[in-house]
Every structure is written in structure tokens, then in C-alpha cells.
Structure 1
Amino acid sequence: MASDIDLFDPATQESWFPTYRRLHAEAPVFQIPGTTTYVVSRYADVMHVLRHQDVFPSGTGLTNRHAGAVQVYQDRGWDRIAPLSVNPPEHREYRKLVDHFFDATGSALYAETIQAVIDELIDSFLDDGQADFMQAFALPLPVRMITRLLGFPDEDIDRLKAWSTAWVLPFSGGLTDEQQVWVAEQVVEFQTYIQERLDEKRLTPGDDVLSKLSVARYNDERPLTDPEIISIIDHLYIGGNETTTFALASAVWILLREPGLYERVRDDRSLVVPFLEESMRLESPTQGLYRRVARDTELAGVALPEGATVHIRYGAANRDGDMFPDPDNVDLERPNMLRHVAFSLGEHRCPGEGLSRLEQRMALNTILDRLPGLRLSADNDFTHAPGFVLRALNRLNVAWTPST
């Protein structure tokens, strides 16, 4: 019945949610035609995959493994070994080196810096009365924060953001051979930049993540290699800005489009956190990621052969009505709202989850304080960037009442 579903159709990607309802009902484990990739959409099945890493270990998915791109890495850069995406037990040892920087406790140490950046950004456009929220705020806030936390100078942000954009481009799918090679060239430039900064940190260390990793020891036994550090840092940089940008923009869009919601949250700040959890459930910035099938198995009555790829669809699981009744609407009293999987689950849970939640919470509270009468502008089309994995608004124009 689901044979006509095309997950790569731009119309499908613009509004995933009718397709998710069909997948839930007709093909909860859906084989993408012509491939050995199976899309898992129901919450219970997604949880089964996440909880059985021995059967469904981490996989590479839509990373850039094009032959020409791989050659670029081999000739001019470093292989993308992705230490933060390997499987247990190695994964635990790598995560122990970075999680404490970005969990709830570690992120709280950066609260003063986060607030300073938030205020600096709002000061820059406060008197204008209107802005593209994406470009003016949602994009630069997490970029500036992760840049500073990792130990890179602010003046390099434009270059770093360009590399970040190239890094995630393969997740949109459908790149030409020339684009695949271009992406690899951009990533190698990023790798080279990280190596140069790493060499500097070893001579003059600071109180930043790159400096700490330069002297860190894997399993308390050996120093991290340069390729390990480079791969960890490029992973943290991408994860530390792209998805938080998308989450912030989606949250403001939802807040302003639903009648009465803005006023309700503005007037009762205890609702900020549940609102943000609901917005991440509804508009998961990362719609899905990949695992591979380690041995022949079965899921929801579908046989999965060894070597196949499983795409765990977080966005679909978060809209599963069996788990979240009335799944397409904001419910600020939803009893199980924290069980969404926007940050994944278990060992491979997003390492920047704590920092992202703190940035979003502080940003929304400040926006509610400093941008009175916030509203959507009339010139929005609310379209999203095409892509299979990430979900991001192209722009979000807002207006407010400037103080006189």
C-alpha cells in the first residue's frame, strides 16, 4: 500500500507529517525502493532499535563516502573516523572525554557567556522593529557559543560557518559528483584549520575544549591522536550549532503561529521549558539517523538482512499518536513530553543536549522580555530547506514593537 511513498520528493520533505501518518499505518518498517535501507517510523520500533545496539550498531548513513571525496581525504586530509559515532565499548571512552563539557552541569558554567551573547545580538537589531529571526539570532547564537567553547576566535566564525554548512550538505542527498568532491575539499580545509589550532593550543593552552582534548587520554592510557581530536572537534562544532539553530527558529515559529500560545508562555514563564520540549518533539531538527543491521533479524514483522541499513526516524516517532496522543498539536501539560527522541537516546544521545536546552531556554526568556508584541511578519512563506535528515526553515521574518 505504501509503494507510492517517495521520501525524496521535495513536497514530502516540505511537510513530512502526512507521510509519517501513512508510514505508521501502512508500513512502519518501510523499505526504500531499490535499496537495502529500511525506515523505522513508530515510536516503539525506534526505541527497540536504540535499545539493541548489538543488533543495530551505529552506521554511517548519508555521509560523504563518494570515491572522489574519499580520495580527497586520503590525499590532503584525514579519514573521517568519527570517534563519537563508534560503538560500545569504545564509544563510552570517547564520550567520557567530552560529555562533561556539555551536559546540564557543564553547560551551566557558560550561562553568563550565553546571556551576554543573547543580549549582544538583540541589541544589534532591537530598534529595527523587524528581522529575519533565523539570520539575526537563531543562527549566530549557537555558532558564537560553540566557537568560543571549543577555543576558536570569533573572527573565524564566517569561515567556520561556511565549513559547517558544507559538512552537512551530504545529508540533503542527491549531490552531483562535483558537489561531493567540493564538500570533501571544504571539510579538509576545516580539518587543516583544526590541526593548526590544535598545534597552537599545545604551545599556549587555554580553558577551552580543544586545549583539554590536546592533553586528554583515551581510557586513561594513551593520548588522543590528532585524527581523533580533529574528528571529535568537527563533530562537536557541527552538532553545536546547526541543530540548535533549527530548533530555535522552529520554536519561535510555533510560538507565534498558534493562537494565544505566545501570550500564555509570555505571562507564565514556568511554561517555557514544556513549550520548548513540545516544539522539539513537533519539529525535530534531526529527523532521523542511521544504524546498520549486524545480523539477520526481524522488526515489526519485517525481515532485515545482515548488512542492511536502518534509518531511525526520530521525527516520525515524535509524531506517533500511540505514544503522544493528539501528536500534531502543542500540549503544555503532556505527561510524557520528555520522552521525545529529538536528541536520540542511550549512549549515542546528542552530546550537546544540555547546552542546546540551556541556550534555547535562556534565549526564549530573553526574547519574551525584550521583544514586546512579537509576531510573524506578513512576508513569510514558511518553507524549509530540502533534505532527508535535517529540518530547517529557510527564513523566519518577525516584527515587534520597538521601545520609544
Structure 2
Amino acid sequence: MNASNPDRDFDPDLPEDFDSAHRDYARLRAQCPVAHTDRLGGFWALTRYEDVAKAAADPRTFTTTVQNVIPKVAFTGRRPPLHLDPPEHTPYRRALNPLLSLEKSEALAPRTRELSRELLAPMVANGGGDICAEFSSYLPVHVFGEWMRVPADWLDTLHDAGRAFILAVHSTRPEAMKETSLALYDMARDLIARRKADPHDPAIDPTSALLAARVDGEPLDDEMIVGTVRQVLVVGMVAPMVMVGSICVHLSRDRDLQTRLREDPSLIPAAVEEFLRLYSPYRGFARTPTRDVEIGGRTICEGEAVAMLYASANRDEAVFPDGDRFVLDRPNIADHLAFGRGPHNCPGVHIARMELRVALEELLAATNGFEVSGPVMPTRWPEIGALSVPLAFT
């Protein structure tokens, strides 16, 4: 605890570099595993694996209905399923989960590979570039655009609107967050209107699946469907962009690993899993206790915001020995929390893994080597990792 300021065991507003947050979380795990800060609206942070996993799996005690990220950015309506707990969130997951199966996700791999090559080609011709701004900010938009079946002429607008929202969140500008979020809501309403006028097969179209869903014979609430489509439009854009940037920073530092993966692409799926543990792109989603709870000898009162720091839990040495080190084929890698735990575990796990695998395969295949060639811009809350990574292809 911070004796000079008992309301601030850590300061999430301090300037960060690519590694500094992980150093701070290691300190907190060792000295103050249940930490409090008065910054970003005031919240508690759970840093150890056991505490994070338990809270994520207990929606009765830790609800997502009040606040789901730090800082609080939901100014424009409810967005299922993330903003609801079971059983209210279940119909939305039930409608979307079949469209996110392993089989359907892998069916997108050929197009993902084609898009990766198209986006990398000008970077290769130029000898490098910003892998986030020029590659990984576009790839997930196009892949999710394919999955959502949005009109092709929407993709540039969706990219720009989504990136504007992300940058507004990172700069903690509430009015800009609201403005950019409303632009995404307009796109969601337009897509829903199109599907109502021209229904698609709900077995292959997410928006149509939501419109076709029934609970006790009744359709889902119109505004909740709008919120769900709005959530889906942007949720798959941020994490892959940040992850690709973080992976490139790591491989620039570890040229032996870069060479090994380039020479033996069969190792890439296992490497992606360890990268997900080591560089979980979200610091951790927020929850709100429905009653007073005691964790690690500290009392968190009902209604106080709690951040479950997945990024810290995934480096907890009690679960992952040498947690700050990349270990290929780590024996308990399946225990990592990069995709959450419990009823709000990420439904897009298969698309995410496919996208990262294909992106890394194509980046390594297109280059003989690469290294960071300029300042790396780190993310801010709620993400953690790299938002801008200039690379030189060697």
C-alpha cells in the first residue's frame, strides 16, 4: 500500500512505455495484490490469477451490468451480451455463438490470408512501415466485415470510425468517445434496417440471427439488438491490432525466435497461444460487487468498481513460472485468461486465434527479418500493448 496516499496503491494515469505496466503489476502482485486507486474514477484492481479467475466466474457477486471497462466508456446505451449477466445475456450469446464456431472461423482463413498479403505488399515494397496503422488496424475490420456481411463500401468508414473511437478512449476524452460511439450506433441501425428489409439466412448472418432469436416466443428488444450489433462492429477490431503490434515488438527483441518461427511455421499456433498469455491485449474487464466482499485481506464495498487484471494474472508466477518470459509449449498454457473466464469469456476465440495465426504466418513469410525502427506507442486503459509499431524489414 502507498503510505503517503492510502487512496492510491498505484497510478494508472502515469506515463507508460511498452513494459512499464507489467513491471508495476509484478510489484502489486508481490506487495499489494488487491490494490486501489482514486484515478480513472476510482477502482480496485485484482492482480493475482486466483482472485481474477474467481471474480470472472462469479457474475452473482461481480456484475457486469454497472461497468464493464476502466475507464467507464458506455455513454450511449446497453450493448449485450457484454453489458448483461446471465440469464439476460444468454439469448444474445445463443444467437451469435454458432456463427463463431471453429469451423465457421476457419472458413474465413483463406480470405484472411488474401487480405494479409494485400496489406503487407506495400509495406514490403517500402521496406517497412507501421505494422499497427498499416496492417493490423485494417485486417480485423475486413475480417469482421466478412463475418458480419457488411457492405464492402462500409469498410473504410468502419475502420475510421472504430479507430477514432479507440483513440478517443485512449485519450480519455468523454465527448469524443460519445460522438464516435454514436457514429457506430448509426451504422448498426442502418445494418439492422437493411436486414429487416432484406432478411438474410440467420445461419450465416449475425444480424439476421439476432433478429430471428426468440425468448419465450418473443423477439429480442430492438434497442438491445442495436446495442449488440454496435458492440460486435468494434469489439473484434481492437485486440488483434494491439496483439500484432505486441508480437512484433517481442520478435524484434528475440531474433532467434523470429527466425525459428519463420523456418518452422508449424510452431506458430503454439507461439500465438503463449503470446496471448504474455501480451493479453486487455488489462482486464471491470465488474461491480453486489455485496461487500473481502479479498486478500481488504474489503471491497458493494458498488465499488473492480478491474480484473487479466494482463497481470497471466504473468502470475504462482501459476506460470517465469511468467515474464516467453516459453514455447508451456505445459499449462490452456489456463491463461486472455479470453476471460466464466459466462463472459470471449465468444470470438476461434476467429481471434485464426486471425493472429494467419497474420503472423504471412508476416514471417513476406520478410527475411524485421525490427522496430522507431518509437513504440503504448496503449492506455483499457488495452495494454502497442498501438503503433514502426518496423524496418531487413
Q: Same fold by TM-score, threshold 0.5 exceeded?
A: yes
Query: Does the alignment pair 1:29 with 2:34?
Result: yes
> 2: CA distance between counterparts of 1:28 and 1:303?
13
1:308 is matched with 304
- Residues 57 and 343, structure 2, Cα contact 8 Å, conserved in 1: no
Identical positions, percent? 27
> 1: CA distance between counterparts of 2:169 and 2:185?
19
Q: CA deviation at 1:12?
A: 7.3
Secondary structure of the corresponding residue to residue 389 of structure 1: coil
- Residues 41 and 313, structure 1, Cα contact 8 Å, conserved in 2: yes
Q: CA deviation at 1:144?
A: 0.8
Identify which of 142, 162, 165 aligns with 1:144.
142
- Structure 1 residues 259 and 166, CA, compared in 2 at 3 Å: closer, same or farther? closer
Q: CA deviation at 1:326?
A: 0.8
Q: CA deviation at 1:174?
A: 4.2
- The 5 Å alignment of 1:371-386 reads 371=367, 373-377=368-372, 379-385=373-379
Q: CA deviation at 1:46?
A: 0.6
> 2: CA distance between counterparts of 1:392 and 1:374?
21
- Residues 202 and 211, structure 1, Cα contact 8 Å, conserved in 2: no
Q: CA deviation at 1:160?
A: 1.5
> 1: CA distance between counterparts of 2:21 and 2:73?
24
- Residues 63 and 170, structure 1, Cα contact 8 Å, conserved in 2: no
> 1: CA distance between counterparts of 2:32 and 2:17?
16
1:50 is matched with 56
For residue 235 of structure 1, what is the amino acid of its counterpart?
A: Q
Query: Does the alignment pair 1:117 with 2:115?
Result: yes
- The 5 Å alignment of 1:4-403 reads 5-11=10-16, 15-33=20-38, 37-58=43-64, 59-60=66-67, 61=69, 62-64=71-73, 73=76, 79-169=77-167, 171-172=169-170, 174-175=172-173, 180-206=174-200, 209-213=205-209, 215-219=211-215, 221-371=217-367, 373-377=368-372, 379-385=373-379, 387-400=380-393
Secondary structure of the corresponding residue to residue 11 of structure 1: coil
- TM-score, length-scaled by structure 1: 0.87
Q: CA deviation at 1:263?
A: 1.2
> 2: CA distance between counterparts of 1:128 and 1:11?
30
- 1:209-241 CA-to-partner distances (Å, cap 9, x unmatched) read 354235321336222233122111111122111
Q: CA deviation at 1:355?
A: 0.4
Q: CA deviation at 1:166?
A: 4.0
- Residues 45 and 299, structure 1, Cα contact 8 Å, conserved in 2: yes
For residue 90 of structure 2, what is the amino acid of its counterpart?
A: R
For residue 57 of structure 1, what is the amino acid of its counterpart?
A: T
- Structure 1 residues 116 and 260, CA, compared in 2 at 3 Å: closer, same or farther? same
Q: CA deviation at 1:347?
A: 1.2
- Residues 13 and 388, structure 1, Cα contact 8 Å, conserved in 2: no
- Residues 64 and 170, structure 1, Cα contact 8 Å, conserved in 2: no
- Residues 318 and 340, structure 1, Cα contact 8 Å, conserved in 2: yes
> 2: CA distance between counterparts of 1:145 and 1:219?
30
Q: CA deviation at 1:276?
A: 1.1
Secondary structure of the corresponding residue to residue 35 of structure 2: strand
> 2: CA distance between counterparts of 1:185 and 1:305?
33
Q: CA deviation at 1:158?
A: 2.9
Secondary structure of the corresponding residue to residue 86 of structure 1: coil
For residue 99 of structure 2, what is the amino acid of its counterpart?
A: F
Secondary structure of the corresponding residue to residue 140 of structure 2: helix
- Residues 112 and 143, structure 2, Cα contact 8 Å, conserved in 1: yes
- Residues 36 and 44, structure 2, Cα contact 8 Å, conserved in 1: yes
- Residues 2 and 23, structure 1, Cα contact 8 Å, conserved in 2: no
The range that moved more, 239-248 or 129-138, is 129-138
Q: CA deviation at 1:133?
A: 1.4
Unaligned runs of 5+ residues in structure 1 are 74-78
| Structure 1 runs of 4+ with >4 Å offset | none
- Structure 1 residues 214 and 97, CA, compared in 2 at 3 Å: closer, same or farther? closer
> 2: CA distance between counterparts of 1:55 and 1:169?
32
- Residues 60 and 290, structure 2, Cα contact 8 Å, conserved in 1: yes
Unaligned runs of 5+ residues in structure 2 are 4-8
> 2: CA distance between counterparts of 1:119 and 1:220?
47
- Residues 96 and 206, structure 2, Cα contact 8 Å, conserved in 1: no
- Residues 291 and 301, structure 2, Cα contact 8 Å, conserved in 1: yes
> 2: CA distance between counterparts of 1:392 and 1:21?
16
- Structure 1 residues 142 and 12, CA, compared in 2 at 3 Å: closer, same or farther? closer
Q: CA deviation at 1:43?
A: 0.5
Secondary structure of the corresponding residue to residue 10 of structure 1: coil
For residue 200 of structure 1, what is the amino acid of its counterpart?
A: R
> 2: CA distance between counterparts of 1:80 and 1:165?
21
- Residues 241 and 387, structure 2, Cα contact 8 Å, conserved in 1: no
- Residues 255 and 262, structure 1, Cα contact 8 Å, conserved in 2: yes
RMSD over aligned CA atoms reads: 2.3
> 2: CA distance between counterparts of 1:226 and 1:166?
26
- Structure 1 residues 123 and 259, CA, compared in 2 at 3 Å: closer, same or farther? closer
